[in-house]
Amino acid sequence: MSHRALKKVLSSKDVTEGDADEADEEVILKPKQSVFSMFDISMPSEPIVPSSHSESEQEARPNPSQSAKRKKNRRGKNKNKSPLKPEPTDDDALFEAVQKSISQPGTSKKSNSPISSSELLSVNRKFLDYRAELNRKFGSSSNENKIRNPLPFGQLVRPNPQWPRFERCGLEMKQSNDGSFAFAHDKEYSKQQKAFYVLQDALDPQLLSMFLSKAPYHIDTLLSLSDYLKHQDQSEVASDLLERVLYAYQITFHLGFSFSSSRSCRLDYRIQENRSLFFAIFRYIFYVSSRSCYRAALEYSKALLLLNPDADPLAILLAIDFFAISAEDYEFLIELYESWNPKRNLYLFPNFAFSIPLARWSQRNRQRRRKPPADIKDSEEIDKMLQDALIMFPGFLPRLMKHTRVGGTSNLDKSELFGKEIRLR
């Protein structure tokens, strides 16, 4: 072979090797692992004397295992070697956050100084007097009792000078070792209680009134006559008897009994002697609210809830939100919901499901703000809360539109949420 032909062959060989390199680089970008690549790793290497041409091909040809590793490194360096336990992605973290928000809906971030139940439900005594609230709302002429009462206001009511003089009636309060309180009857009061049961079976209010003249502070007799007079449209006399019951109780309170905290006024509803106090406060709450004194009704609701906050035997939680919104105390309602919702699941109560968005909206649009709230929700968040409430309690909207005579319920018949099937339940 001549020198010119040899030079021509070498130049063509370089061109073919360059093309092979470019082709191999393309394979590196999109490598396709050979089926027999595992034999390249496991097969023992034998001493083979390579030729010059084979060495150049080995240098240009990449190892399939190395190319596969390069591909894995390019796709993601942080993946684990085991495909069964991948690292959580951003979607997984978002899904977990949504699950937590659903499990505790309506809860916000915990503040640095959370409010305890004792501070939240502490009763403000100056707001218990509903007559003073009537004077603030409608003026002094609205109060029928124009004679100023000189007696101080007690823990529950202000005593009336026209009431019979209170003497020891046989009712006393004792404190147990666990810090709770309980009422007890002495022998004389137990005899009066048995006589009351006999008169109650007679169904004669005249006999009860005669018995009350002999025992003017017998609790159950006062409650029975008050309930009877209420149904006879004598609400003023009925409320006076209720106040006399509360006065008899506050006279017999233990020295350590106070509505300032839940620890100092705990009563067990399961004890028969304690139940009359629950009934008296409960009935007085709705009498006061019927006079549009919602602030006083809210304070009495706090007092009733403080007696037994864990059980809430008379379910005052179903009405306390109405009193708070009517009294424009939105901050108390929101704090109560955020404090009790994680443990009591208040979002399952239909009244709280709708009252909390209303309180948020009223708090946001209130013209005269007492103090700037720490967390004011946006209008979109409030709308989202209201939508969740309607989805959870779909029967509320048709009933609301029916009782308010808004109309337009015909277009709800074909709705999956607010159809006829929902309204019939």
Residue 289's φ and ψ, nearest 5 degrees, are -70, -30
For residues 302 and 321, what is the distance between their CA atoms, to the nearest angstrom?
11
414: left (phi over 0), alpha (psi -120 to 50) or beta: alpha
pLDDT of 386: 93
* Burial of residue 167, with CB atoms counted within 10 A of its CB: 0-12 exposed, 13-18 middle, 19 or more buried: exposed
Q: Alpha helix (H) ranges present in 232-349?
A: 235-251, 275-290, 294-307, 317-326, 330-344
2: left (phi over 0), alpha (psi -120 to 50) or beta: beta
Residue owning tokens 């004679």: 147
pLDDT of 312: 95
pLDDT of 42: 42
- Residue spans of the domains in the chain: they are 116-298
pLDDT of 66: 52
Within a 13 Å sphere around the CA of 265, how many CA atoms are in the beta-carbon half?
25
- Tens of pLDDT, residue by residue, the chain (425 residues): 555 655 565 555 554 555 545 444 444 444 544 433 443 444 444 444 444 444 444 444 545 445 444 544 555 444 444 444 455 555 455 445 544 543 444 444 444 444 566 678 999 999 999 999 999 888 765 455 545 667 889 999 999 999 999 988 899 999 998 889 999 999 999 999 999 999 999 989 999 999 999 999 999 999 999 999 999 999 999 999 999 999 999 999 999 999 987 788 999 999 999 999 999 999 999 999 999 999 999 999 999 999 999 999 999 999 999 999 999 999 999 999 999 999 999 999 999 999 999 999 998 887 665 565 666 778 899 999 999 999 899 888 878 877 777 666 666 767 777 766 555 55
